Amino acid sequence: MANTSLKQIAQRLVEDALQQGATGAEAIGRAGEEFSVGVRLGTVERLKEAASKSLGLRVFLGTRSASAFTSDLAPESLAKLLVRALEMARATSEDPASGLPEAALLGQYPGELALYSDDLSQLRTEQRIELARRAEAAAFQSDPRITNSEGSSFEASAGIKVYVNSHGFAGAYQSSYCTLSVVPVAQPNGGSAKAMERDYWYSVSRSMAALESPEAIGRKAAERVLRRLGARKVASCKVPVIFDPETAGALLGNIFEAVRGDMIYRRASFLAGKLGKKVAASHITILDDGVRPGGLGSRPFDDEGIPSSVTPVIAEGLLQNYLLNCYTARKLGLRTTGNAARGLAGAPSVGPKNFYLQAGPYPPEQIIGSVKEGLYLTELIGFGVNVVTGDYSRGAAGIWVENGELTYPVAEVTIAGNLAEILHGISMVGSDLEFRGAIASPTILVEGLTVAGT
């Protein structure tokens, strides 16, 4: 891959920006290749392959700034990009908190992060197709009630990311990614198509070697869809809710939103003004770890050139850190936590490293076993979360728990509460933490949520 050349182009662009009057500049570059295959009912449905590259530039004129990006890296096109960025910067507002990180903060995590594996690029197209085919076949073989499929897909990508700024930072790293997923559809024996259900399962990894076997993924997907058959509504009530690791991860995603520095300085989070305070039950520890080897949120430096590290967010119930980039750190009078994330467009925002709830002592069976009557949650849909107020109301599906046992499936209900109360209401944390993305959680039990049904 043209690793050095993308970095050189970025460096030249930053130098040109300074020459044309910018007081500071940074460039971010990406180049990569992607491949995906979709298989349905054993037949290839789609094959997709591509390579792409792009470059984003941000310029500063004192405390004014503007940015631009292009997918065309020809010199004329980059020259135009620079002119427009400078023109726009002249028209934006003076913002004392804006600017590049101080040179002393810049650097790279020195350890091995295992972000790239070449075992993906060595796969032939036929092997990739076979992975998807095997996952779907395993789902069908699990049970005759698996009658249809939305398909199975294998996707792989590899690329390089470059970041250069006029405070002397120039870094690049390679990463790879692959995911195998399958979406089977089930219907009850002799039941009508109106009672159909679908569900999914997947594995995601930075190397082929760490990917779960297609058969395991297919069987798990089948298990997940079969347990939904015959779902009904329940009467509205307040009960304990067990979040499985997938739905607990979605809840952690809401907590991440609430500790983002931009939400904090704008007082747009229910956790604003709570640093150092007790915001969760005492056994709750949430970390944001940028250096987990092979982690999907790991990286040697963030999108402002700050070295990755581990940031404790909540430790034993106390709010320890917000997650910050340079801008939000300056706004709050704090130090960046290396959470700058940017697309190619605009100023850096705040993104997660590996943001997770630390595992607790309880096997999930023991958590289920402790609930007299409640809901074991397996799906959340919709967007009913307001991080400003903490109001939480989402569509849900799962399995009803009676006397410590999973009984019948439940659908067409909602769960509702408030995020601030949910953090205090987590009464048990499972031992089953697994990373399937940059945000992860084990099974948790939350007291006092409202389930709305009939």
* Residues 193-252 interacting with another protein (rule: CB under 8 A): 193-194, 196-198, 228, 231, 233, 235-238
- CA distances to 84, 91, 165, 452 from 87, rounded to whole Å, are 5, 7, 20, 54
For the chain, report the end-to-end CA distance as a whole number of angstroms. 58
Binders of another protein in range 176-195 (CB under 8 A)? 185, 193-194
**Per rule CB under 8 A, count of chain residues that contact another protein:** 85
Output the furthest CA–CA distance in the chain (Å, rounded).
75
Number of H helices, E strands in the chain: 9, 20
If one counts every other C-beta atom within 10 angstroms of the C-beta of residue 280, the result is 24
Residue 91 or 104 having the CB closest to another protein: 91
CA contacts within 13 A on the Cβ side of 256 = 23
Between β-strands 146-165 and 197-198, what pairing exists: parallel, antiparallel or unpaired?
unpaired
Binding flag, residue 266, another protein (CB under 8 A): yes
Query: Cβ of residue 55: shortest distance to another protein, in angstroms?
Result: 10
Which amino acid appears at position 360 of this protein?
G
Binding residue (CB under 8 A) for another protein from 344, 373, 427, 431: 344
Residue 182 or 397 having the CB closest to another protein: 397
Query: Cβ of residue 47: shortest distance to another protein, in angstroms?
Result: 5
Residue 168 or 382 having the CB closest to another protein: 382
Query: Cβ of residue 93: shortest distance to another protein, in angstroms?
Result: 4
Query: Cβ of residue 180: shortest distance to another protein, in angstroms?
Result: 16
Binding flag, residue 70, another protein (CB under 8 A): yes
Binders of another protein in range 149-178 (CB under 8 A)? 149-150
- CA distances to 196, 313, 316 from 440, rounded to whole Å, are 29, 14, 18
Measure CA 381 to chain center: 16
Residue 176 or 414 having the CB closest to another protein: 414
Query: Cβ of residue 404: shortest distance to another protein, in angstroms?
Result: 23
- Piece of the chain touching another protein by CB under 8 A; list 65-73, 208-216, 274-282, 370-378: 65-73
Q: Which residues, in sequence order, are bridge partners of residue 307? A: 301
Residue at token pair 């790991």: 298
Phi-psi region for residue 237, left (φ > 0), alpha (ψ -120 to 50) or beta? beta
Binders of another protein in range 415-454 (CB under 8 A)? 415-418, 450-454
CB 6 within 8 A of CB 29: yes
Q: Which of 263, 337, 351, 262 is nearest to 306 (CA)?
A: 337
Query: Cβ of residue 261: shortest distance to another protein, in angstroms?
Result: 13
Binding flag, residue 268, another protein (CB under 8 A): yes
CB 39 within 8 A of CB 194: no
Query: Cβ of residue 105: shortest distance to another protein, in angstroms?
Result: 21
CB 114 within 8 A of CB 292: no
Residue 125 or 282 having the CB closest to another protein: 125
- Helix, strand and coil content of the chain, in percent to the nearest 5, comes to 25, 40, 35
Binders of another protein in range 72-91 (CB under 8 A)? 72, 77, 81, 84-85, 87-89, 91
Query: Cβ of residue 133: shortest distance to another protein, in angstroms?
Result: 14
User: Could you give phi then psi for residue 284, rounded to 5 degrees?
Assistant: -100, 120
Binders of another protein in range 91-150 (CB under 8 A)? 91-95, 98, 125, 148-150
Site string for another protein, 360-399 (x = CB under 8 A): -------------------x-xxxx-x-xx-x-xxx-x--
Q: Give the ranges where 190-244 is alpha helix by DSSP (H).
A: 214-226
Binding flag, residue 21, another protein (CB under 8 A): no
Binding residue (CB under 8 A) for another protein from 69, 154, 169, 202: 69
Binding residue (CB under 8 A) for another protein from 61, 114, 216, 411: 411
- Piece of the chain touching another protein by CB under 8 A; list 44-52, 280-288, 291-299, 435-443: 44-52
Residue 185 or 318 having the CB closest to another protein: 185
Query: Cβ of residue 194: shortest distance to another protein, in angstroms?
Result: 7
- Dist. CA 405–CA 410, nearest whole Å: 14
Angle, CA of 357, 434 and 128, to the nearest 5°: 140
Query: Cβ of residue 74: shortest distance to another protein, in angstroms?
Result: 10
Binding residue (CB under 8 A) for another protein from 168, 346, 361, 369: 346
CB 386 within 8 A of CB 394: no
Residue 452 token pair: 């709305």
Binding flag, residue 282, another protein (CB under 8 A): no
